[in-house]
Amino acid sequence: MSTPNQDHQPLTTRSWPTAIMHMDADAFFASCEQAIHPELRGRPVITGKERGIVAAASYEAKAKGVERGMRLFEARKVCPDVVMLPSDYETYSLFSVRMFDILRRFSPDVEEYSIDEAFVDLTGLRRSFHGSYEEIAKKAQEAVARELGITVSVGVSLTKVLAKVASKHRKPRGLTMIPGREIHDYLASLPVGKVWGIGPNTAAFLNKFGIGTALQYAQADERFIKGRLSKPFQEIWHELNGRSVYPVVAESRHEYQSISKTRTFTPPSDDEAFVFAQLSKNLENACIRARRHNLAATRLIVFLKQQDFRDAGVEIRLSRPTAFPAELFEPLKEGFGGVYRPKILYRSTGVVLGGLVAEKSVQYTLFDDVTKIEKMARLYTAVDELSERFGKHTVQHGVSLSAKLQAQHEGERGDVAQRKTELFAGENKRQRLGLPVLKIKV
């Protein structure tokens, strides 16, 4: 099979036409726990005790063979001294917000890509900081470590894809610069399947044409790329060649194709009413997010996961776009009845609101009860205002009440994160300050 590669030549001769930084927190959840519990620093720590699997592992735990997704007993087997903690997502979110705020001191263009990583456009800022892009990146890295007590790995290059390559090059605490003239050095030994956006199927396809590394992909003839690959992979090819295609998007994301909510509980249950209550609470949570972004769903997906991790689901097309649970409980019951099986232990439930459209674009049909819909809209506006003032689920549907009254996790795995039990003066279960609880030795 003929090779699609053209003659080897430098990918670009310009070192810094643009400068994009990618910051990736090292073992973020576990690092947050070590930051607020200094006695855990240097020890193998995992989170996810409430789920029964490893959600995140510190580098000390990873060094002993602990991997994400492991069952807790497996983690204990490979690392007997591992410290198992329940996930404290509230605290992790607070650390995330602080990290993004620190990055905005260095550039107004910060894209919050996920809870523990961000892209930052540094282009043109060398004069403002009286230093090189490497010095700016190092200052940002040091600021996060100094103020939050966690470490991050940083990569800087000409594009977002290359910045991702750079940040992954050396972890933890890495700082890698890839100027235009050195791109080929970092792509030469990188498997093409490790490039951000290229999955195993595409990698296998490229391998058939003799493209096994990111450099071979970047140096492939443009006619081959356009003739054999779809637009996303053509864009990645441009990015690997140092041509910025993906801009750093600083605005918060308000456009979603779908919204999903899942809920794991222990011990597992075969109580039909309780499992449906868990599912109903997922629906309410998903609808809250949809209404927050003024979106309505046209499809509803319902799924249940058994104790043996087998799952079943069903998709339902809705008669009209909506984000009101009261309109969705009937199709939810229909979907639940199609997948629920008596005397089977279930460990988690989930819903997906799919086919989202802008609420303002929804048109009424001749068969819609417009007065009823408008009354429902006013009702949920009031519910959302109460939740904003007094906390989420201040008002909720009775069908999901048992999910609220019973602890989500009971027994040995029912530990509660510290932030949920140690409140500041004036706080209550629903109204909280945006601060983590720090455990400081005196």
Quote the pLDDT of residue 373.
85
Task: Residue 171: name the closest of 110, 116, 133, 122 by CA.
Answer: 116
Range among 21-25, 302-306, 312-316, 395-399 rated most confident: 21-25
Pair (30, 152) in one structural domain: yes
Q: Is residue 430 part of a domain?
A: no
Measured at the CA of 199, the angle between CA 196 and CA 205, to 5 degrees, comes to 125
Q: Is residue 202 part of a domain?
A: yes
Pair (217, 159) in one structural domain: no
- Residues 203, 212: Cα–Cα separation, whole Å: 8
Percent of the chain whose predicted confidence (pLDDT) is above 90? 62
163 touches 20 (CB < 8 A): yes
- Residues 414, 325: Cα–Cα separation, whole Å: 29
Domain that residue 283 falls in: 258-405
249 pLDDT exceeds 60?
yes
**Using 50, 70 and 90 to split pLDDT, how confident is the model at 399?**
confident
Which residue is listed with tokens 């959302």? 384
Q: Is residue 424 part of a domain?
A: no
What's the domain count of the chain? 3
Choosing from 169, 200, 222, the residue where a domain stops is 169
Pair (327, 376) in one structural domain: yes
Query: Domain holding 190: CATH number?
Result: 1.10.150.20
419 pLDDT exceeds 50?
yes
Task: Residue 252: name the closest of 97, 361, 389 by CA.
Answer: 97
Residue 196, CA distances (Å) to 26, 187, 199, 233 in order: 18, 12, 8, 10
Structure tokens at 352: 């997906």
pLDDT tens-digit profile of 286-338?
Answer: 999 899 888 999 999 999 999 887 888 999 999 889 999 999 999 999 999 99
Q: Is the dihedral of CA 406, 412, 414, 418 positive or negative?
A: positive
Flag the least confident range among 29-38, 39-48, 124-133, 351-360: 351-360
Residue 329 or 437, more confident: 329
One-letter amino acid for residue 268 of the chain: P
Pair (191, 230) in one structural domain: yes
One-letter amino acid for residue 205 of the chain: F
Quote the pLDDT of residue 231.
93
403 touches 284 (CB < 8 A): no
311 touches 294 (CB < 8 A): no
**Using 50, 70 and 90 to split pLDDT, how confident is the model at 2?**
very low
Flag the least confident range among 56-60, 102-106, 292-296, 414-418: 414-418
Pair (75, 216) in one structural domain: no
Catalytic amino acids? 117
Q: Is residue 412 part of a domain?
A: no
Percent of the chain whose predicted confidence (pLDDT) is above 70? 86
What pTM did the predictor assign?
0.70
Pair (126, 24) in one structural domain: yes
Q: Which helix (H) or strand (E) holds 317?
A: strand 311-322
List all residues 6 or more positions away from 234 whose beta carbon is below 8 Å from its beta carbon.
Answer: 225, 226
Q: Is residue 5 part of a domain?
A: no
**What count of other Cβ atoms lies within 10 Å of the Cβ of residue 113?**
17
Strands 311-322 and 346-354: unpaired
Quote the pLDDT of residue 41.
92
Quote the pLDDT of residue 93.
86
- The order of strands in the sheet holding 152-157 is 110-114, 117-121, 20-25, 152-157, 175-177
Pair (158, 67) in one structural domain: yes
- Residues 361, 133: Cα–Cα separation, whole Å: 45
Pair (303, 379) in one structural domain: yes
121 pLDDT exceeds 60?
yes
Pair (317, 373) in one structural domain: yes
One-letter amino acid for residue 166 of the chain: A
Pair (205, 105) in one structural domain: no
Pair (330, 396) in one structural domain: yes
Strands 295-306 and 346-354: antiparallel
Q: Is residue 296 part of a domain?
A: yes
Q: Is residue 174 part of a domain?
A: no
218 touches 241 (CB < 8 A): yes
Q: Is residue 156 part of a domain?
A: yes
Query: Taking every pair of C-alpha atoms in the chain, what is the biggest distance, in angstroms?
Result: 71
Pair (146, 121) in one structural domain: yes
What φ, ψ does residue 121 adopt, rounded to 5°?
-90, 110
**Using 50, 70 and 90 to split pLDDT, how confident is the model at 418?**
low
One-letter amino acid for residue 387 of the chain: S
Helix (H, G, I), strand (E, B) or coil at 258: strand
pLDDT tens-digit profile of 191-207?
Answer: 999 999 999 999 999 99
Structure tokens at 330: 């009937």
